[in-house]
Structure 1
Amino acid sequence: MPSYIMRPIICLMLILFSGCAHQPADRTSEPTADAYLSPAVEVPSAEISPVPADPSPPDDTVVVNQPSAMAAEWEVPPMVAPSDAEISVDSTEVIDPVAADPVSSANGIQQQLDEALVFCEAAQDFWQKGELENALESLDRAYSLILTIEPDDPPKLVQQKEDLRFLISKRILEIYASRNIVVNGNHNAIPREINANIQREINLFTRGPERRFFIESYKRSGKYRPMILRKLEAAGLPAELSWLPLIESGFKVKALSRARALGLWQFIPSTGYKFGLKRDQYIDERIDFEKSSDAAIAYLKELHSIFGDWSTVLAAYNCGEGRVLRVIRTQNINYLDDFWDLFGRLPFETARYVPRFLAALHVIENLEKYGMADIDAYQPLVFETVDVNRQIHLKDLAVPLGTTREVLKELNPELRYSVLPPRGYTVRVPVGKKDLLLASIDQVPVSSPPRPAFVYHRVKKGETLSTIARRYHTSVKKIMWANNLKRSSYIVAGKKLKIPQRGMVITRAPATAPSPAAWNRKHVVKSGDSLWIIAKRYGTTTQKIQKVNRLSTTRLRINQVLKVPSQKSAGATPSRGSATYYVRQGDSPYLIARKNNMSLNHFLKINNLTPRSTIYPGQSVKIE
């Protein structure tokens, strides 16, 4: 068997069988995959005394919950005893240090544990600098220090020894995993190859349904790519990554995905927060094309320090490093020659993401070949910045500057309501307008963001709509309309209700479909629409809407125009004429519908019933 497989296995056996018999009760769960290859592992502060070490461990740390096996090309010291340089023992007389002086002995052991922790921190610094051999030597030294602690030493010190042993094992696995992940060759190069998966995406971009998307995205790229290129060059990253927003968002700064990822670089809130993108009542910096680019570059650098090759980095950027690491964990220890070894194990969207990016690069470098050489990208955004300490609206700011709200909004897309925050804020203005703004800023009226139409309330046990309405100074009817409730007596604990604010006018959506003259068999998609909502409104089905509009998925976009089949064009059967039926003892909606050759759904619909509705003897219902 090859040595690179045997040595980690031997280390695994050594670390498992040489450990102390004392095992903490909370270390039975398996370590999460997100912990692997993390830049640091935090030692539980409650168990290990703090050591005045500099630098401090990084912030992005994880807690080790399970001893990990030693797996490394690591020269493990003999497990019987440390070297003579560490402990000098008289061969003729052995003195029990604990019996001689328990206090000084405990202090000495604590000092050794503290020294071992310092070596662990030094190993982390070496690893981050890429000095893997020095990192392993530091861990080797730390391990030799904790071997001097015996099971009958004070329990607190034994516990610290166990925690350190687990930490050292974890760090060694991380170092060797990172060794195997890094691809030999030029790590800064974006791979160039054409295979069947990439060719499929090339065909979609050049002659398939996504050709128009590609062209429009390429045009929009001109606004932002020069800025992105400057930032990538300063960070030492490949210039090709400047095309990543084409795949992420089509170079739309306000693109919003189904996963609630937002902006050019499609950050979800948690990842954006991790890399310094703020979000409050006034701003969402995920939409700020400059700050989001800085965050994306920081994220890409972090991922590259973990995975080493850009194809795997891009996969992790799309679905998260934790998901990719979990896939890696299922592979052999020398799993990775390149990204394609992971291709079949990743989610479909992520597996397609990397080929799409590589296909986009190929098309961009061969525009003439694919008949796109005449496409002109938009001009880059140029602007000046001004520090403003006044809460003003962009439409009021546009007047003294002699420009439009739309121009200012394009330069400052991160302003959620086009209102500057009350604190000091750096606003972008067209070139040549800075001095004009500074001269007229005191004359611009103060503004405030619009008041939200709704607040949200989570129903608690024992609450009713009446008590909720009194609390928020509104009415039961308005709450029912806002939440499309049919009965005021039926609310469920834990459900979240929309509560209209005072002064807001709430209108209920029409219960029946509008006439063909009113909607002209077309519907413009608005925020919050879905195929199901549209079908319900117009009395049709999602399948029929998809068929009429040739939609292959249920995804919609705002302002998309849909053809909506009327009931007649959708194949609705004409009414056969209705009659009245009086419910008898033992009847049920199903039995009545079956007696009259009706479908249960149709019977419920013409009687405004639901599957949970109860009918009573003597009640009149409609039948056909």
Structure 2
Amino acid sequence: MGTHFKLSSIKIELAFIISVLLAFTGCVTDSYQVKSEEQSAVEQTPAESPSPDPQSTEVSKEAYESSPIKEEKGSIAHVTPEKQISRSTTPVIKEPASRPLKKKASSSIPNYKKTDKSAQDLLDSALAFCNASNDFWERGDLDNAVDALDEAYSLILQINPDEPPEILQQRDDLRITISKRIMQVYSSRYTVVNGYHKAIPLDMNRHVKKALNLLKGKHRKFFLSAYRRSGKYRPAIVKALKEAGLPEELSWLPLIESGFKVKALSRARALGMWQFIASTGYKYGLKRDRWVDERMDPAKSTAAAIAYLKDLHQIFGDWDTVLAAYNCGEGRVLRVIKTQRVNYLDHFWDLYGKLPAETAFYVPKFLAVLHIINDPKAYGFTLPPVDKEIGTETVTMHKQVSLKTMAKHIGVSYEVLRELNPALRRNSTPPRPYAFRVPMGKGPTLLAELDKIPQWRPPIPTYVTHRVRRGETLSTIARKYRTSVKAIMARNHLRSRSYIKTGWKLKIPTRVRYASAGQSAASHPSSKRVNKPPKKPALSKYRVRKGDSLWKIANRFNTTTKAIQSLNGLHNSRLSIGQVLVISKPSAAYSVTGTEMYRVRKGDSPYIIAQKHQMDLAEFLRMNRLTPRSTIFPGQTLSVKPR
């Protein structure tokens, strides 16, 4: 027979009990009154029943390992037994030897018949698993400690709620104990994270072995090249990780993310050494505009990565799962966890099969890198010497200058300046205060030469920006701008001629300098003003092409959509490809009262034309029904004020 027992009453407020149970078990406890210390004292007397067999209530580690829960969990990577775990000093739950409970003298509990053996046996088994969990915990085996608590909880859930109050009270006490123990295990894992112990267990299983074989074979050259580059950046990364209290092993994460390349760009548009996508980078303070992309800044992206890893660890609690979430996003991993039978402290290898293939292999690959770094000879590697870290100092620039011009003035190569400032997207500093890095000792030189370095002015681009619309291809865009697909691919670093997305902004190289409305320049070709008596506009024919609209055609021929509809008898704005339209095309010399007509020339922009005719840009745009993003073409006629 199982031994009758009563756990000591736990001095804990009811609100805390409910919050613990809701957080870790998802179940609502049966309501019961928390008694005072005097009322909760239980008088115990020697047992009237025979002494139980100790083997019937004690669960050894060997017995637990053969239990059904081990078969369900599959492969589990254990924490090294020798590892010491920092934890609280909550006393271990021990089962009373052979003393059943005695009813309190002042109690009004009815005299129930002898407790059903199955309910008491369930409690005994649950308590034994709870004690086994404590044993695993003390040995540092956190995974089996959680599994044992899981088994204990599943046992007490089988107890019928119609059992006598004594049984229900014992069940509730044990449920609270399990919840507290789960909190202790979680606290142990978090203490490990803070750097007091080795945080990332070097698991070895078939997945890690597969990654090792890949690094020893097909990816060997990549690994050695990335390891060599790590010398430039890893010392600063290790220092930042130590200051944040995170494991130093995470300093090798950029090796599999980017190969320690600060300008690495993935197919998912993740950029930089730590491979941030734009939205996540923005969330963690990485700025991005036409001049700078801080995802390519080693120091700033490292700080952002550390903040992100900290947040992920607060969510998941173990580093293997954190790394998976870093690769595919916390939302995806959380959705996978919700499908598990136990929704707290899931082990990464329990989730492995349900993660995306690339993410699932990401963690074994990282562990394989750690194995090789720790013992390269064991895996057939001879690690090369690493690149040296370049000492730098920072100068705050308040002037926009060309990097090539700066390099000549301070005696440093242009390539070195680019390497030290990879976040710059152009060959100049931005038009705002900017912390510019130079080699150690060159800061005073730059400050002394700064006044001699001329202000940099952006040239007029030889391309136009085109936003991809639905149904467009590179071929149709190339035909529209009279260029080639290869030229567009080269200008935008595209790898496939058949893959573009709606909304992408493409730079289209052109033989003629089309200009946008907001563009300006220091100098430009002279423009001719036309001021002749008005002539009747001539009619011309235009064949509709793919992507055309009435507004586009009207804007191109300096007319209105209503005029085109009137000339062609159109009742709506629908057009068909190949349709021929009659267009009222004013000549270059045509003018109306108070205005002149101006023919656009190569190199012109709305800003340039407005300046030449002493007009405000806004007035010029309004007169010609243009917007700041409108594009003008050579040969197009526009209205201007007479000078």
**CA radius of gyration, larger in:** 2
